[in-house]
Structure 1
Amino acid sequence: MNPTALRRLPAVLVVDDELRSQEALRRTLEEDFEVYCASDAESALAIIEREHSVANIRVIVCDQRMPGRSGVDFLKEVRARWPDIVRIILSGYTDAEDIITGVNDAGIWQYLLKPWQPEQLLLTLQRAAEVWRLQQENQRLSVDLRTAEPVLRRRVESKRDKARSQLGLAGLIRAESSPLNAICELIEKIAPYDLPVTITGESGTGKEMVARAVHYQSRRGDKPFITENCGALPDTLLESELFGYKRGAFTGAVEDRVGLFQQADGGTLFLDEIGETSPAFQVKLLRVLQEGEFRPLGSNRPVSVDVRVLAATNRDLEEDVRTGRFREDLYYRLTTISLHVPPLRERGMDLPLLARQLLANSSAALGKRVDDFSAEALACLAAYRWPGNVRELQNEILRLVALTESPRIGAELLSPRILRTPVGDAAPPDIVWPEGQAPLSGNLKERMDHLEMQVLKEAMIRHRWNKSRAARELGLSRVGLRAKLVRYGLERGD
């Protein structure tokens, strides 16, 4: 048998002293409802007491004028004893006093007039049954939420602690001798105070990570952290993004939009690439910082906000101030504290830690188990200058994880530009490489020897130190290749 056929229909109680009216209502409703009928209030109460727990009566359709108790009086008692039942009055009279009394005292959901239309009545009863279902769902959820409140509170606190640990100072990966340590010490001192901070450094050095560390170390750490790249949008779009707008403020503004300043209220707004903004926009931003309020586009009312603003740029703002490209008053408003993030090439001691952390993140993102780098691969990574800084390192490691078929990444998978880099003092202290790798200087022979050594090293790494394959590629005999490797001190393998 179809399980749907076994499902019980929602129950409706019809109360009317006219039998023909009862039968007409039953015929209209019986395909969609389980219908009970009563001729007076007392009979109806008896049916509810007997059937409600079993049939779960959801709706009562009651005539107003009946012998004995009126419909409103009856429904007042129903409201007191079974408040979940949806109550409907069906009457041929339009006495305003009856209607008002029914709505106020008996909590009538609908007041329908005779003669009724079958389609309209059925639709009203279906809506009433849905109201009953939603009431039950609301009550269940209210109970669940009251029960779950301690659990939800613990989950929120756990996620907040996790965010602080991963995005706060602990999220800035650094070695004991890292230049980032001085920045972290300064962040600990200034984060609790609502001082504006400007973060400078080359593109890709992790200025947003530093800004998040300031936010999560501050008293605003449990409030929003909102970011906006000021260099990615023209002035008009940037203004609407930051300040919001009202419907009709311009063509295409079909609804109100809350700006990022309002979204960050109580928290922190990070303005990246602030040096790319125009002088005209800088005037508008200065007013917000000075007054703590702004007007959304198309609005006449100012909006007050409590926001800490952190800014970042890869430009020399002091030089821009001197040339007039950046407003001096805005510069001093943004730069009470200045933090400079060093490029990755100046953080050689951090690279092994940072590379392994990025490897773990990339492995999780791609769903592949990759445990570590070979010593040779790590030495090559450490020797490279990383002009794109941490962002370039992240992209390279993501590529390596995608390409590797082993849980340990070998140097042969590295991009050619990294393999061509001489491995020398930049290598981590626990990795020893051959001496004699001179810089590209000196006379012609010395320079040619240096280039030959780099070609040999790259070929050997790509072929995983297989001398036969490397010799075939380079057009050398195996003995000749071996002699060259010995000459340049490259007789090494991982």
Structure 2
Amino acid sequence: MADTPLPAILVVDDEHLSVEAIKRTLEDDFEVFTATSGAEALSILENQWIQLVLCDQRMQGMSGLEVLSEVRRRWPEVLRVIITGYTDPNDIIDLVNKAGIYHFISKPWHPEELLLVLKNGTQLYKLQREHDRLSVELKLLGPSVQNRLDEQRRQLREGFNFDNIVRSPVSPLNAACDMAARIAGFDVPALILGETGTGKELIARAIHYCSLRSDKPFHAVNCGAIPSELLESELFGHRKGAFTGAHAHRIGLLEQAHEGTVFLDEIGDIPQAFQVKLLRFLQEGEIRPVGSNSTLRVDVRVIAATNRDIAREAAAGKFREDLYYRLAISPISIPPLRERICDVPSLANSLLERVTARHDIKISGFTDEALDRLCAYPWPGNVRELENQITRMVILAEGRILSADLIEPHILRADGAQSPPEPLIDRFIGEGGLLRDRVERMEARIIRETLIRNRGNKSRAAEELGLSRVGLRAKLLRYEIEEPVKLSLISGDAPDDDP
């Protein structure tokens, strides 16, 4: 491995003995060039890459001031150090103003002091060169960074778009999306209503990225998750010493989101004392950080959301009516998932793509039976519960298709899962054939679903169907129904053995 080159220094003095003494002191740490006149020094600088010039003040011919002034004019990046036995203030002022010296060393000089000054000087030279190089690179990089930033903004606008919100053509969610899209273009507050897990924040982001503020910040805060005494500090900020633990100034989210959007989730949980301050901000556009005597003007659009019946609470005096009417210019109601079961297949496949990408797993989709079971469940936890269920199915899956035997028991045992969905019934009826054939097809389907719901336990399935164990076995053989053993093993309930 090659040695790192030593920093190059030029020593200029018209006394040979002085030059040799300095050279011996420095040659272990520097590559030392020497000159005994100003003209010789300038000639060396023309041909060598010198980082620092150490020059005597009083010399015959060109003085140290003249030499270093010329160096400053022709090679301004080279650091200049003067060594002198004179301390006339006027001389020092001239050296600083005309030659721009980095340091001056008094005679007689001390070796350790000389080494320290020159090492610091060459390190400063190195840092200055690196700074200059990076400055040039940043100028060249600037357009590239801007292009990448513009591309990221474009992707956000396209990603958080109402057209990309997963739903079916006849979904009840379409009306909410249409209303949100209309509001997005108007710079007014918005209020989103809906149960937990219905996707209120997704709608809020779509409003932001479809608005004129799309290139500005979007900040979300869950008001219900922050203690009431800290919520004001979180949104408005505080000054150092405003309360116990306020060891430094804090910029609130409203100030951070200047010219952008703040999403206040679960706004129904904020205390009434703070509702007054939030109302004033919406009316005046001013905030007062905790512990401050002055106000700040900020330009922020507020989108609020709640899972409560906030209109009823406002009428009952539990939420300020004036704040409610300030937010509820055109309330956007997000229907729960149980009211838009038609969206479940599309949502399930979209969530499956997200989950498999997150965990780097290759799964191609669901069986028809699995989708039927997912569509039969009311999903009290809405989209969030559906995503959790699909994540579980992906974790337990052993093949490339997610089957119904991976679904949790409480979903299979749900009331809605005890009979096939209407589209499934229509399919059996519409397949044609004699009434007896259609009834047998329906009977086979019911037996299979009952076995799945009971995790392959034939005794429990027979009891639920009102059959004897022998009768159930006969029907399994007649309809050639395979027993879902795999699901039973996953759940921990081993299927009972045949007699």
TM-score (norm 2): 0.84
Task: Find 1:380's aligned residue among 364, 373, 378.
Answer: 373
Task: Describe the SS at the equivalent of 1:6.
Answer: coil
Q: Return the letter of the residue paired with 1:480.
A: G
Aligned equivalent of 1:459: 451
The Cα shift of 1:169 comes to 1.6
- The separation in 1 between residues aligned to 2:329 and 2:420, in whole angstroms, is 36
1:211-269 deviation line (CA, Å, top 9, x unaligned):
00000000000100011111111122111111112222223222222111111001001
- The separation in 2 between residues aligned to 1:120 and 1:411, in whole angstroms, is 82
- The separation in 1 between residues aligned to 2:149 and 2:422, in whole angstroms, is 40
Aligned equivalent of 1:405: 398
Q: Does 1:178 align with 2:171?
A: yes
- Count residues in correspondence: 466
Aligned equivalent of 1:94: 87
- Aligned positions of 1:21-40 closer than 5 A: 21-40=18-37
- Aligned positions of 1:297-446 closer than 5 A: 297-421=290-414, 422-423=416-417, 427=421
Query: 389-398 or 107-116, which moves further after superposition?
Result: 107-116
1:10-67 deviation line (CA, Å, top 9, x unaligned):
2222223344443443344333322222233222211111212xxxx22222333333
Q: Return the letter of the residue paired with 2:472.
A: L
- The separation in 1 between residues aligned to 2:69 and 2:413, in whole angstroms, is 89
Are the equivalent residues in 2 in contact too, given 1:14–1:62 (CA < 8 A)? yes
Aligned equivalent of 1:448: none
Q: Return the letter of the residue paired with 1:90.
A: I
The Cα shift of 1:455 comes to 8.9
Task: Find 1:217's aligned residue among 207, 210, 227.
Answer: 210
Task: Describe the SS at the equivalent of 1:271.
Answer: strand
- The separation in 2 between residues aligned to 1:473 and 1:242, in whole angstroms, is 56
Query: 140-149 or 107-116, which moves further after superposition?
Result: 107-116
1:315-355 deviation line (CA, Å, top 9, x unaligned):
11112112222111211222222111111111212111111
The Cα shift of 1:81 comes to 2.1
Q: Does 1:82 align with 2:75?
A: yes
Q: Percent identity?
A: 50
Q: From the superposition, tell whether residues 251 and 480 of structure 1 become closer, same or farther in structure 2 (CA, over 3 Å).
A: same
Q: Unpaired segments of 5 or more residues in structure 2?
A: 430-444, 485-499
Aligned equivalent of 2:435: none
1:377-397 deviation line (CA, Å, top 9, x unaligned):
111111111111111111222
Aligned equivalent of 1:160: 153
Task: Describe the SS at the equivalent of 2:48.
Answer: helix
Task: Describe the SS at the equivalent of 2:168.
Answer: coil
Q: Does 1:41 align with 2:38?
A: yes
Structure 1 vs Structure 2 CA RMSD: 3.2
Task: Find 2:5's aligned residue among 8, 11, 16.
Answer: 8
- The separation in 1 between residues aligned to 2:90 and 2:447, in whole angstroms, is 100
The Cα shift of 1:202 comes to 0.2
- The separation in 2 between residues aligned to 1:93 and 1:304, in whole angstroms, is 59
- The separation in 2 between residues aligned to 1:424 and 1:51, in whole angstroms, is 91
- The separation in 2 between residues aligned to 1:138 and 1:429, in whole angstroms, is 70
The Cα shift of 1:152 comes to 2.2
Q: From the superposition, tell whether residues 51 and 374 of structure 1 become closer, same or farther in structure 2 (CA, over 3 Å).
A: same
Q: Return the letter of the residue paired with 2:67.
A: F
- The separation in 2 between residues aligned to 1:91 and 1:236, in whole angstroms, is 66
Q: Return the letter of the residue paired with 1:49.
A: E
Q: From the superposition, tell whether residues 357 and 101 of structure 1 become closer, same or farther in structure 2 (CA, over 3 Å).
A: farther
Task: Describe the SS at the equivalent of 2:28.
Answer: coil
- The separation in 1 between residues aligned to 2:125 and 2:423, in whole angstroms, is 73
- The separation in 1 between residues aligned to 2:192 and 2:172, in whole angstroms, is 15
1:389-442 deviation line (CA, Å, top 9, x unaligned):
11111122222222222222122111112222344888595897768xxxxxxx
The Cα shift of 1:370 comes to 1.8
Task: Describe the SS at the equivalent of 1:337.
Answer: coil
- The separation in 1 between residues aligned to 2:425 and 2:88, in whole angstroms, is 96
Q: From the superposition, tell whether residues 336 and 485 of structure 1 become closer, same or farther in structure 2 (CA, over 3 Å).
A: farther
1:281-334 deviation line (CA, Å, top 9, x unaligned):
112212222221112222223211110011111111112112222111211222
Task: Find 2:224's aligned residue among 228, 231, 239.
Answer: 231
- The separation in 2 between residues aligned to 1:192 and 1:310, in whole angstroms, is 13
- The separation in 1 between residues aligned to 2:76 and 2:28, in whole angstroms, is 26
Q: From the superposition, tell whether residues 306 and 471 of structure 1 become closer, same or farther in structure 2 (CA, over 3 Å).
A: same
Are the equivalent residues in 2 in contact too, given 1:413–1:462 (CA < 8 A)? no
TM-score (norm 1): 0.85
Aligned equivalent of 2:493: none
Q: From the superposition, tell whether residues 120 and 326 of structure 1 become closer, same or farther in structure 2 (CA, over 3 Å).
A: farther
Aligned equivalent of 2:487: none
Q: Unpaired segments of 5 or more residues in structure 1?
A: 436-452, 464-468
Task: Find 1:264's aligned residue among 257, 264, 271.
Answer: 257
Are the equivalent residues in 1 in contact too, given 2:411–2:417 (CA < 8 A)? no
The Cα shift of 1:272 comes to 0.7
Q: Return the letter of the residue paired with 1:401.
A: V
